[in-house]
Amino acid sequence: MGQTPTGYARNGPVSLAYEDHGGAGGEPLLLVMGSAVSRHWWPPGLIAALLGRGFHVASFDNRDAGQSTHFPAETAHPVTALFRKRVPAYTGEDLADDAAAVMDALGWGSAHLFGHSNGGLRAQRIALRHPGRVRSLVSSAAVSSDAGPLQLLRYIRFGTVAKLARLEFPEGREGDLALSMAVSRALASPGYPFDEAETLARIEKDESSAVRDPKSMGRQLGAHWSGGSLARLRVPATVMHGEADQLLRPSAARDLAKDLPGARLVIVPGVGHDIPPALWGRYADEIRATADRAHDADMAAGLIGSLIASWALAVPQWGRSVGG
């Protein structure tokens, strides 16, 4: 599957690079990537599996990542940024509005969402901020939008954070690729083979290292949210998490599933903080099943509406016949 031309959406002064992967005529599915990395980190094999399940798939670069607008440098460690009281550069609401702008550019009134890592958190907030535009939600390897600072501390595996912080590679193209490969390997699923060739084919699409600048990650992770609780959501939802996730403990997923009304919880054995090739089909099936729940809910609502309308029409007729 070849790379498609880059499109650009606008949210005020912010330019957002996006890619339409095809499947026109299928159900719209927007992929929401995590912090720092670009849309190119979505595996083409996973996208192909989603296209094969009847989705029209698109992905985009978050602000401060990839080919989207980058913001002026502001020092904030990715972990400590989670607990800062001062808004660093933009808010969680701004990030949610970015996704809505991408949907506008694609001509989508609404879409299903699949978010991975911090993209799973963003997907939750997109649904809260724009409820009429989200058909279903699948969150992978993410924390709950409702989680407070103390909860976040319990979820994070600080040994992995320290290991990633110690990675050092020379500046330049080769060093960038080596750094991105080292991060990918550190977060790869221990229960499945690491496909170095497949990983390299993705990360080398980035013009510069997606993980070289911790400041951009700090700005993204530190985006404050005041948009309400997950208890308000009324969309079909699935929470997926690797049992061997090196960055976030599975308890993050269990708590998220409790916070999301009616959410299905899927803990996947042997999976780390990535989605291994052997499970692309499994993840695509879960996303498809969640979308089907939205379709079934729409069908049921339509049937109830038809029954109510029929009953409303029948009552006057029944009254006239009884009254003679």
pLDDT band, very low/low/confident/very high, at 302 (cuts 50, 70, 90): very low
Q: Where are the domains of the chain?
A: 6-158+211-323
Report yes or no: 68 and 14 within 8 Å, Cβ to Cβ.
yes
Q: What residue has token string 């929470």?
A: 239
pLDDT at residue 317 in the model: 58
Give mean pLDDT, residues 225-230: 92
- Enumerate residues 6+ apart whose C-beta is below 8 A from 285: 53
Task: Give the number of other Cβ atoms within 10 Å of residue 182's Cβ.
Answer: 16
pLDDT of residue 257 exceeding 90, the answer is: yes
pLDDT at residue 298 in the model: 61
3-state secondary structure of 4: coil
pLDDT of residue 314 exceeding 90, the answer is: no
pLDDT band, very low/low/confident/very high, at 307 (cuts 50, 70, 90): very low
- Tell me what percent of the residues of the chain surpass a pLDDT of 90: 74
pLDDT of residue 309 exceeding 80, the answer is: no
Is 223 or 43 the better-scoring residue by pLDDT?
43
Nearest of 126, 168, 154 to residue 29 by alpha carbon: 126
Nearest of 285, 243, 240 to residue 265 by alpha carbon: 240
CATH fold for the domain made of 6-158+211-323: Rossmann fold (3.40.50)
pLDDT of residue 295 exceeding 90, the answer is: no
Report the b/e string of 190-206 with b at 16+ CB within 10 A.
Answer: ebbebbeeebeebbeeb
**104 vs 284: CA distance, rounded Å:** 24
Report the b/e string of 123-159 with b at 16+ CB within 10 A.
Answer: bbbbbbbbeebbbbbbbbbbbbbbbeeeebeebbeee
**Residue 316 is inside which H or E element, if any?**
helix 280-323
DSSP category for residue 231: G
Give mean pLDDT, residues 77-86: 56
pLDDT at residue 72 in the model: 81
pTM greater than 0.85: yes
| pLDDT, tens only, 149-206 | 889 999 999 999 999 989 999 999 999 999 999 999 999 999 999 999 999 999 999 8
Range with lowest mean pLDDT among 7-16, 149-158, 288-297, 300-309: 300-309
Q: Which two tokens stand for residue 112?
A: 């299903």
Report yes or no: 25 and 56 within 8 Å, Cβ to Cβ.
yes
Report yes or no: 206 and 66 within 8 Å, Cβ to Cβ.
yes
Report yes or no: 220 and 64 within 8 Å, Cβ to Cβ.
yes
Sign of the Cα torsion 5, 55, 51, 263 reads: positive
pLDDT band, very low/low/confident/very high, at 224 (cuts 50, 70, 90): confident
Nearest of 271, 226, 220 to residue 245 by alpha carbon: 271
DSSP category for residue 233: -
Range with lowest mean pLDDT among 25-39, 67-81, 162-176, 280-294: 67-81
pLDDT of residue 35 exceeding 90, the answer is: no
CA 297 to chain centre: 22
- Tell me what percent of the residues of the chain surpass a pLDDT of 70: 85
CA 118 to chain centre: 7
Average pLDDT, the chain: 89
pLDDT of residue 219 exceeding 90, the answer is: no
